[in-house]
A and B are shown apart, each in its own frame.
Chain A
Amino acid sequence: MSDRAYLSTRKGLFELSRSGERWELGASHFLGEPVSFTLADPRDGALYAALNLGHFGVKLHRKDAGSEVWTEIAAPAYPPKPEDSADKVEWTNKLIWAMAAGGPDQPGLLWAGTLPGGLFRSRDRGASWELLRSLWDVPQRAEWFGGGYDVPGIHSICVDPRDSRRVLVAVSCGGVWRTEDGGDSWTVSSSGMRADYMPPELNENEAVQDPHRVARCDGSPDALWCQHHNGMWRSANGGKRWDEIKGAPLSSFGFAVAAHPSDPDTAWFAPAEADQRRIPVGAALAVTRTKDGGKSFTALRAGLPQEHCYDLVYRHGLAVADDGRTLLMASTSGGVWLSGNAGDSWQTVSTTMPPVYAACFASAK
């Protein structure tokens, strides 16, 4: 059972710890600094904090298990941009948007997804990074564009627990991509998705899709869930084909999705009213849960604010622990809620935190 969680916020990294049935805020780190993402590496217990300093750029720090000391390590950096490059994108790291640990057979291997769309790999716990040119150089990258930011970015990195060479990433806005060979080659993998924000002839272009978030069921890794700009999708075959989930209650718009760690049919979403009105439906916060692969949903509200609530749960703002029952949800208005019963009811941890970019649990392993 996980007893620790982390909030990456606009004004620091905050710890949450379990105290009996309750969860409480604990220590803070980098207070005042924007922390865009935190990775708790289940393999060695190290904690990685990605900072996005307004003046001084993207930084990365690591705290080893059992240590109280943060050490600044290398941040992913783009190679020199060729002078004759026609690429309109600046080759500079604007944000570490996501990180993921490699498989248990890859000690020290880390992945990092960034704005403006580069995927990086470290083989030495962040001492050095390499840009995966195999993805950066795909011709379709010229079609990618920003979603919520001026430039595209990689926000979801799903390593297949069965085979660490199989990795799937999602790009806003550039579709879903997967590799079967450890990153040597990549295939766009958004078949079935639809982009209504594009002209009709481009609706089904796989490389312009905006998957807001993709989450994989670790215990059944062919099951993937996607909260997309245009709705909700699920794949039953590792992302080769995506099927739209229709008829979800409240709204099909949102950013976050969390996949149950072992049950491929269970997932949670945090719906918002619509693209043009990014607030909870009816200003009443709810999480929707399916237990049957998206055929039906239950709206879960107990303990969540139901009046004048304008909290938006961003793409990394909803997390589920290894037990499949403990959920953490945090908003861009600084609301933080925990559930110990798979979302049936929620405990308010705080309503006054800084805007939360990402929430995660430390692995209980």
Chain B
Amino acid sequence: MARLIFTQQLARFTTLPQVETGAAQLRAGLDSAFAINPTLRGYVLDEQGHLRANVAIFIDGRRCTDHTRLDDPLLPGSMVYIMQALSGG
């Protein structure tokens, strides 16, 4: 199971679920978190479903560079960190 860890910077706005997912790709993994807390979606993705410009996601230490498809593979045991990018101020 891949594990999703959201930055605590988000905790001041909404509840952060503890997520372990069997999803094979990033978007499906994120969807499993949004299913628990739908409000979280709008903080991570924009209304077109794209990763917000100033949110950074790392999978097993590698930063995701595609903000649109979000089809990066997840492996059993993957650690997915959803962080705020410093570009956002």
A-to-B contact residues, CB < 8 Å: 53-57, 59, 72, 75, 77-81, 90-93
Which among A57, A75, A90 has the greatest number of chain B C-beta atoms within 10 A? A57
A91, B46: Cα distance in complex, Å: 9
A55, B49: Cα distance in complex, Å: 15
Any A CB within 8 A of the CB of B24 = no
B 12-50 contacts with A by CB, 8 A: 13-14, 39, 42-44, 46-50
**Would B39 and A72 count as touching, CB distance under 8 A?**
yes
Total interface residues on B, using CB and 8 Å?
A: 20
**Would A57 and B48 count as touching, CB distance under 8 A?**
no
B-to-A contact residues, CB < 8 Å: 9-10, 13-14, 39, 42-44, 46-50, 52, 54-55, 84-85, 88-89
Listed A/B pairs (16) with beta-carbon separation below 8 Å: A53-B13, A55-B54, A55-B84, A55-B85, A55-B88, A55-B89, A56-B42, A56-B43, A57-B43, A59-B13, A72-B14, A77-B47, A78-B47, A90-B48, A92-B46, A93-B47
**Would B52 and A56 count as touching, CB distance under 8 A?**
yes
**Would B42 and A57 count as touching, CB distance under 8 A?**
yes
A72, B50: Cα distance in complex, Å: 22
Chain B contact surface mostly = loop
A75, B84: Cα distance in complex, Å: 20
- In the complex with contacts A72-B39, A75-B42, A54-B88 CB distance below 8 A: yes
B10: which of A56, A75, A78, A81 is its contact (CB, 8 Å)?
A56
A347, B27: Cα distance in complex, Å: 54
Closest A residue to B52 by beta carbon equals: A57
**Would A91 and B47 count as touching, CB distance under 8 A?**
yes
A56: which of B13, B47, B48, B50 is its contact (CB, 8 Å)?
B13
Q: How far, in Å, is B68 (CB) from chain A's closest CB? A: 11
Query: In the complex, which residues of chain A have a beta carbon less than 8 angstroms from the beta carbon of B42?
Result: 56-57, 59, 75, 77
- In the complex with contacts A55-B85, A75-B42, A92-B47 CB distance below 8 A: yes
Q: How far, in Å, is B20 (CB) from chain A's closest CB? A: 23
**Considering the complex of A and B, which 8 residue pairs feature the smallest CB-CB distances, nearest first?**
A55-B88, A54-B89, A54-B88, A77-B47, A56-B43, A55-B84, A55-B54, A92-B46
A50, B52: Cα distance in complex, Å: 18
**Would B46 and A57 count as touching, CB distance under 8 A?**
yes
**Would A55 and B9 count as touching, CB distance under 8 A?**
yes
Q: How far, in Å, is A122 (CB) from chain B's closest CB? A: 15
Query: In the complex, which residues of chain A have a beta carbon less than 8 angstroms from the beta carbon of B14?
Result: 72
A235, B78: Cα distance in complex, Å: 63
A79, B10: Cα distance in complex, Å: 25
Q: How far, in Å, is A198 (CB) from chain B's closest CB? A: 30
Query: In the complex, which residues of chain A have a beta carbon less than 8 angstroms from the beta carbon of B44?
Result: 56
A78, B42: Cα distance in complex, Å: 12
Q: How far, in Å, is B41 (CB) from chain A's closest CB? A: 10
Q: How far, in Å, is B67 (CB) from chain A's closest CB? A: 12
Query: In the complex, which residues of chain A have a beta carbon less than 8 angstroms from the beta carbon of B9?
Result: 55
A75, B45: Cα distance in complex, Å: 13
Closest B residue to A58 by beta carbon equals: B42
**Would B48 and A92 count as touching, CB distance under 8 A?**
yes
Which among A55, A80, A93 has the greatest number of chain B C-beta atoms within 10 A? A55
A81: which of B48, B85, B89 is its contact (CB, 8 Å)?
B48
A73, B49: Cα distance in complex, Å: 19
Query: In the complex, which residues of chain B have a beta carbon less than 8 angstroms from the beta carbon of A56?
Result: 10, 13, 42-44, 52, 54-55, 84
Q: How far, in Å, is A344 (CB) from chain B's closest CB? A: 40
